[in-house]
Amino acid sequence: MRGTIFRTDWGWVGLAATERGVRAVVLPKATKRAVERELRRVANGNSTPTFVLPPQGGGKYLRAAHEAIIAYLQGRARTFDLPLDLDGQPSFRVKVWKVLQRIPYGRVRSYGWVARKVGKPQAARAIGGACGANPVPLLVPCHRVVAGDGSLGGFSGGVGVKKRLLRLEGLTPK
């Protein structure tokens, strides 16, 4: 597994990828060290990423994710077409994340809506848990999931980042 940490206008961002796809995304943080700690944690403990500078030596998925995330955070891209390496993740979470990938840019859906889409209409809290465990935020847009009353709910990257992401997509969060 290879990883990289890079600076954006939003802060430091981290990525990890295998030969199968993107394994982890760490949302913007104030320091490089904070991103490195989080990247090691979300890389699923299977192996510690070898850190490289993109695009040299990072493999095609790491380079592609680096470019795509920069374009997204600059408002130049709306979708991600990258393979994900979700090996070892529970099947319920993977099912939830596939539904989240279908939420269009600039739109939000409720935890209850996602629960109904995965065939578990009473599982809104479990949906929140799957969103919180998402190792590849942005690529799986958990920031587009809100509470039934339209309030933001939680977000692994912090509610401030969630608000900023929704504003980037043209929304006015509650």
Query: From CA 81, how far away is CA 42, in angstroms rounded?
Result: 21
Nearest 5°: the CA angle 53, 101, 163 is 75
131 given a catalytic annotation: no
Query: From CA 108, how far away is CA 152, in angstroms rounded?
Result: 10
Query: From CA 167, how far away is CA 91, in angstroms rounded?
Result: 31
> Which one of the listed residues 139, 142, 145, 166 is annotated catalytic?
142
The token duo for 94 is 């993977």
Query: From CA 38, how far away is CA 137, in angstroms rounded?
Result: 13
Query: From CA 97, how far away is CA 23, in angstroms rounded?
Result: 13
Catalytic positions:
142
